[in-house]
Structure 1
Amino acid sequence: MSLVAMVPEVFAPGGVLARADGHFQPRDGQTQMAIAVAETIAEGGALVVEAGTGVGKTYAYLVPALLSGERVLLSTATKALQDQLFARDLPRLAQILGLPVRMALLKGRASYLCLHRMQQARLDVQAQDRGVARVLAKVEDWSRQTVSGDLAELTGLDERSPVIPLVTSTRENCLGSSCPRFRECHVHRARREALAADIVVINHHLFFADVAVRESGMAELLPTVRVVVFDEAHQINETGVQFLGTQMSTGQWMDFARDLLIGGLQHARGLADWAGLSQLLELSAQDLRLVVGNAIFEGANGVAAGARVRWTEEAPEGLSGAAWHAALRALGSACAQSLEALDTVSEISPDLERLYERGSALLARLARFSGPCQADAVRWLDVGNQLRLIESPLDIADAMRTRILTSPAETSEGEAWPEEPAANMGRAWIFTSATLGADEALTWFTERAGLKDARILRVASPFDYARQAALYVPRQLPSPADPSHSRSVAEWVALAAEPLGGRTLVLTTTLKALRIIGDALKERWQTSGALEVLVQGEWPKRRLMERFREGASHGRPGCVLVASASFWEGFDVPGDALQLVVIDKLPFPPPGDPLVEARTQHIERAGGKAFTSYALPEAAVALKQGAGRLIRHETDRGILVVGDTRLVTMGYGKRLLAALPPMCRLESPEEFESALMALTKPSTTDPTCP
């Protein structure tokens, strides 16, 4: 029986899935998607599937992938989703289908313990801190028990812990086969297992990082596969742009300076002034950060800390060209002095040899940023605790067409690529997500990903949005341009969340709004403690999600979560724990962002209209993603509130409304109040709309 014929039988009433799981409900959309995936695997080519929330897209691509018998690469957006696929969905489905499948989980280096660097960590000055030393001791104890070395196993380790960079490796500092612990290396073991597996689960960051590194001649080969699936595919453009460009950060220079001191003192003490060289590098990196910091904090260019700074001229906007280039030259000089010292001792130890290679690579990157930006690219500064210099393509379309979807005969350095017989058999590419565009052709995704010729399939959500959910736009809120808007949204949220006992997620479009709304809500319930306000950034994301799901339990109050950025997607809280989602403003791309400006100018130079072809589709997709947090199950009920009257007063609002699920519309405060009161009742059968 062919793959295309087998797949629908698995999803049919009385089929394998129905017999294995009493809760399984056949869905036409899920079967339709699974057949399309099977056809693509059988014939090759590219398939783009937008599968609405509740379709069951994971099983829709896993079933045909497993039944095909092909080697499959599954790439998803986050490490958390990787873990879910590898630990839950894949093993369960393989057991149901009765298939003996070898599976492997492969993450980036920063996810695995580096035994060699853990040994060196005690020599780092940060290890003198009592808190760091305590966490380091915990890592050392765990290192004697773990098999995988995946730091996700280590419960209680904060993802922001300063210990993580001390005990993990990067491409820059990894010693490779020269490492004294290479045979025990967790990264090396994970890659060996991936090379031997039938199904390999990776993430988008690792995929694009491997593409970029492989083309620089330092190949980190992933298994040769014929079927590639990108889940949460809406993120691949921004991820690809990040890795297919060039980046350099002051953090990389500080790490190099720290490792230079440790490596020099450990292997070549007395043969150079390692402390002096390390200090010069650190000071030079700090001075580069200060050149930008002074201009920003003195208000020379009106840019807030944490923002992106335009870089269209010789120096970034608002900075003195002379001061900027002097700081770059000073950093280059400090690096050259360190390389001179390393050159005389690099043969003593693999650590010193690798340090020399790292320094040379950093110096080359510094030289690139000292010159003009490449054509068809955009350059900017990302200013935070460290300074990042970034040059990237506007999108990944060209790279997808020329470097990913097809396998060139030679690399950019003229070396032949490894043989890839799978590519000659017609590789199958599947891209899927709940949100890939606002039009039938899904052009928001396909144009930027170089997939104009792909087969397109849109599968609607099986949820009854008209019964389960309502949409409300409070007309009394001030214009988003009014300085009082965020404070007004906070006051409105407080009045709505109290009757619900929390169960409210507030999604903001800016970090400034996040702080204003979060502070105002905390102030509201500071004395009474009636509700607990959770704010993104104050705790790790996982901990915030766990606390929100708990809600009013174990004697604790209900929760209001105020979040931005990553919480617009990947936040999954089914049931009554979340019943009110508030989006503060229409999520148009920030006009002052250098990448947004460059894309806008590119469209307008070509004779297009940037607002209708770029800004509006971006807002529609983001709005759709935010709205998707509300209804996660057939029995969920809730209200989506958009605190931006432009949605109902401006002509373009119709396009944005059309991108949202077909929710019931609430037109007045009275209708909203009635719907809100209906949510306070325990019934799961009453409709949300009055």
Structure 2
Amino acid sequence: MMTYSKTLYRIFKRDGILSKHVPAYQPRRAQFEMANLVLRCLKQETHGLIEAGTGTGKSFGYTLPAVWWALKNEKRVIISTNTITLQQQLLEKELPMAHKVIRELAPELAEEFRYELAKGRSHYICKRRLEELWQDSLTTETPEREIVRQLREQLPAMKKGDREEIPLPVPPALFQAIQGDSDDCLGKNSPFYKQCFIQNARKKLQNAQIIVVNHALFFTHLILRRQGASILPEYDAVIMDEAHRVEDQVTKQYTYHVSIEEINILFNRFLKKRAHWARELDSSDLQQQTESIRARLVAKLVELFAPLARALAERPQNEYLLKKSIIANNEVAPLFKEWKTLFADKHKELKAAGGEEETVIGLSRYISQIEQMERMVTHVLCNESPDEWATWVAYEEPGAEGHRSLIRDDFAWASLLHLYSAPIDVSELLREELFTQKTVIMTSATLTTQGDFSFVANRMGIDEYEALETPSPFRYEQQAILLVPNEAPSPAEKEFEAFLIASMKEIVMTTRGRTFLLFTSYSQMNRVYEAMIPWLKRHGLTGLLHRPELSRDTLLQQFRSQPNHVLFGCESFWEGVDVPGDDLICVVIVKLPFPVPTDPLTKARMNRLDKRGQNSFREYMLPFSILRLKQGFGRLIRTRSDRGVVVILDSRLHTKPYGSEILASLPPARLTKSMDELHRFFTS
């Protein structure tokens, strides 16, 4: 029998502590159960998986027990999220509210309560780099001189020193020149060490019981911890919200990327004197020898890359999974050895002569970076560990269309080739680095397929855990309709795109805007947008296209500004978007969001399962699609008063055996096959 915390009951009950601070507070059984499970997992040091349906109030469901446990037991909890939006919500809403609650529960603990946001050093201004840039501008006139002067004047008034606090527009290239950089950090030898924004932020983390981070930073910390370094202070437990994105983020952080540009960037850290330690090495011999090594290494890579780039340019896809190695013998190893030896000898020479500490440390870091680059280059060129790593080549055209018709030499072709390698399965890595080390609680609105957590648990490497699936408090049967037209052609048929356009016109003619059109492919989204724009204009509707240069928040502000807007969205609009009320009344999902089977990493994952005698479709493609579809569906109903229609223009939900499994995993909205229901819903 489940036991409940008396303290949490005091907080969450109808006339409890939370009711005094939340207007029109209504207790939610699901939220209370979630909070109890979180507290029990923290106390018993067990992992937890919690699917909290939309409207559960999951942020309070984990924040309040985490704060109480951390303060009572002198512990530290990391809360990791995937999006900035959720981080801001935690810092501006849930954590200040938790402080008020604790003040009533235990005033003496409330006095000690601290929470902080952890960010990477590149988000902060480095005072030394800014000062060096200013001194350089006094002798050499630069276009940014006036901005640099204004920044210097503003520094004393800045408390955090991060980019968000800068009170004037700063060009990206200028901020890059003054941002914190681990390769150009003097540490305690910096004249600004005691006033360093980055060091001050790190000190604040040491005093915090709750630290909010994003998934990318958290897993970067895990990688650095393996190397004996760290970003975060020691902690006792991790709560991961938006946990359905953890596998993607871990894979991304562990992915190798090799290109001519990446090689040149590493050489230029010394050759262009971009770091303090490099500027201290005034040696023309070292400069000439390094240039010689670069020329020969790049020439060898051009010889290997250019034919591959030319071949890929003629093929239908621009990226392919490697089946064999690119080189039989490691032809680049002697050049990397020469590069490492050159700087290792210089390192020994400076150390023996008692050279500047920061220069010696900088050289040591640079040698480690050369070694890491050699490991990556060797790994991808030799296609090492193909059963554990997916290695692929990608041909990436420059963004501007005008460059594509230029006549190219071998170097230009080679510069378009990128090589990547990523772990096929991150479960063992997470098991060793995280789940055997710390208590981890993962939560999201989408972690189950038909009430089963096993897909996510297996992908993450969680062997034992407590699980809780909390239903949404929304009355989907009354608030929403799920329309899946019966007459839709298969997405593989030629007629499908014409059907999409015709159906979308009919839908938005009925809704008169306030509609999301969610795509699984940017190219298809762009084609449909171009085809519909003239029609939308004729009917007084405005199409908003999800372009890479537009931020999601900017596009959402535009969408909310007028009721006649129709948003064409991809990827990031499937999740983490909250548009409550009448601003969004219809979500159209173009087709089931299966992973693209030709994607190299997807292909490698499927191959791995098939080789093991498992069904890759049922054990990877299908559950992945269900979780993604649940996210897309969840954009519609955000409050108890919302009403609307989700349209899925994919008849496979009716015609394929797996269709019933997908439908059973979605919220229980009333299912219909007829467009007439859409018209009746919005005219009733």
Q: What residue in structure 2 maps to residue 576 of structure 1?
A: 582
Tell me by how many angstroms 1:52 deviates: 0.5
Look up the equivalent residue of 1:234 and give its one-letter code.
H
Cα distance between partner residues in 2 of 1:122 and 1:276:
32
Cα distance between partner residues in 1 of 2:425 and 2:627:
17
Cα distance between partner residues in 1 of 2:296 and 2:338:
9
Cα distance between partner residues in 2 of 1:314 and 1:276:
30
Bigger drift between 249-258 and 631-640 goes to 249-258
Bigger drift between 464-473 and 85-94 goes to 85-94
1:533 to 544, 559, 565: 544
Does 2:116 align with 1:89?
no
1:398 to 385, 406, 428: 428
Tell me by how many angstroms 1:145 deviates: 3.6
Tell me by how many angstroms 1:480 deviates: 0.9
2:197 to 186, 206, 230: 186
Q: What residue in structure 2 maps to residue 228 of structure 1?
A: 238
1:659 to 653, 665, 673: 665
CA deviations 1:59-94 (Å, max 9, x no partner) are 011111122223221111123322321233201221
Cα distance between partner residues in 1 of 2:245 and 2:255:
16
CA deviations 1:212-233 (Å, max 9, x no partner) are 111123x115233333211111
Tell me by how many angstroms 1:55 deviates: 0.2
Q: What residue in structure 2 maps to residue 271 of structure 1?
A: 284
1:302 to 298, 305, 315: 315
CA 1:646–1:296: 2 relative to 1, 3 Å: farther
CA 1:147–1:473: 2 relative to 1, 3 Å: same
Q: What residue in structure 1 maps to residue 679 of structure 2?
A: 673
Q: What residue in structure 1 maps to residue 403 of structure 2?
A: none
Which has more helix, going by share of residues?
2
Structure 1 gaps of 5+ residues are 316-320, 408-426, 553-557, 679-690
Does 2:46 align with 1:33?
no
CA 1:136–1:643: 2 relative to 1, 3 Å: farther
Tell me by how many angstroms 1:121 deviates: 6.3
Look up the equivalent residue of 1:14 and give its one-letter code.
D
Q: What residue in structure 1 maps to residue 13 of structure 2?
A: 12
Q: Is the 8 A contact 1:441 1:456 kept in 2?
A: no
Cα distance between partner residues in 1 of 2:97 and 2:164:
21
Bigger drift between 360-369 and 93-102 goes to 360-369
Q: Is the 8 A contact 1:103 1:197 kept in 2?
A: yes
Tell me by how many angstroms 1:437 deviates: 2.0
Number of residues of Structure 1 aligned to a counterpart in Structure 2: 640
Cα distance between partner residues in 2 of 1:641 and 1:74:
35
Bigger drift between 657-666 and 384-393 goes to 384-393
Cα distance between partner residues in 1 of 2:357 and 2:34:
55
Superposition RMSD in Å: 3.7
**1:263 counterpart SS class:** coil
Cα distance between partner residues in 1 of 2:258 and 2:646:
41
**1:22 counterpart SS class:** coil
Bigger drift between 198-207 and 81-90 goes to 81-90
Tell me by how many angstroms 1:156 deviates: 8.4
Look up the equivalent residue of 2:474 and give its one-letter code.
F
Q: What residue in structure 2 maps to residue 474 of structure 1?
A: 485
Q: What residue in structure 1 maps to residue 637 of structure 2?
A: 631
Q: Is the 8 A contact 2:480 2:646 kept in 1?
A: yes
1:517 to 528, 532, 535: 528
Cα distance between partner residues in 2 of 1:498 and 1:138:
52
Structure 1 segment 236-251 matched on structure 2, within 5 A: 236-244=246-254, 246-248=256-258, 250-251=260-261
Q: Is the 8 A contact 2:309 2:395 kept in 1?
A: no
Q: Is the 8 A contact 1:3 1:38 kept in 2?
A: no
Tell me by how many angstroms 1:11 deviates: 0.8
Q: Is the 8 A contact 1:16 1:97 kept in 2?
A: no
CA 1:540–1:246: 2 relative to 1, 3 Å: same
Look up the equivalent residue of 2:603 and give its one-letter code.
E
1:78 to 83, 101, 118: 83
Q: Is the 8 A contact 2:516 2:568 kept in 1?
A: yes
CA 1:238–1:135: 2 relative to 1, 3 Å: farther
CA 1:77–1:460: 2 relative to 1, 3 Å: same
Q: What residue in structure 1 maps to residue 402 of structure 2?
A: none
**2:459 counterpart SS class:** coil
Q: What residue in structure 2 maps to residue 560 of structure 1?
A: 566
Structure 1 segment 5-154 matched on structure 2, within 5 A: 5-68=6-69, 69=71, 70-98=75-103, 99-100=110-111, 101-119=113-131, 143=155, 145-154=157-166
Tell me by how many angstroms 1:577 deviates: 1.2
CA deviations 1:527-559 (Å, max 9, x no partner) are 77631423231412221122223234xxxxx32
CA 1:331–1:619: 2 relative to 1, 3 Å: farther
Cα distance between partner residues in 2 of 1:534 and 1:124:
43
Q: Is the 8 A contact 2:517 2:590 kept in 1?
A: yes
Q: Is the 8 A contact 1:148 1:190 kept in 2?
A: yes
Tell me by how many angstroms 1:258 deviates: 4.1
TM-score normalised according to structure 2 size:
0.83
Cα distance between partner residues in 2 of 1:491 and 1:660:
26
Q: What residue in structure 2 maps to residue 260 of structure 1?
A: 270
Q: Is the 8 A contact 1:3 1:64 kept in 2?
A: no
Structure 2 gaps of 5+ residues are 104-109, 399-415
Q: What residue in structure 2 maps to residue 350 of structure 1?
A: 358
Identity among equivalent pairs (%): 27
Q: Is the 8 A contact 2:541 2:565 kept in 1?
A: no
CA deviations 1:129-168 (Å, max 9, x no partner) are 999888877766665543212223347869x944554333
Q: What residue in structure 2 maps to residue 685 of structure 1?
A: none
Tell me by how many angstroms 1:290 deviates: 9.9
**1:560 counterpart SS class:** strand
**1:7 counterpart SS class:** helix
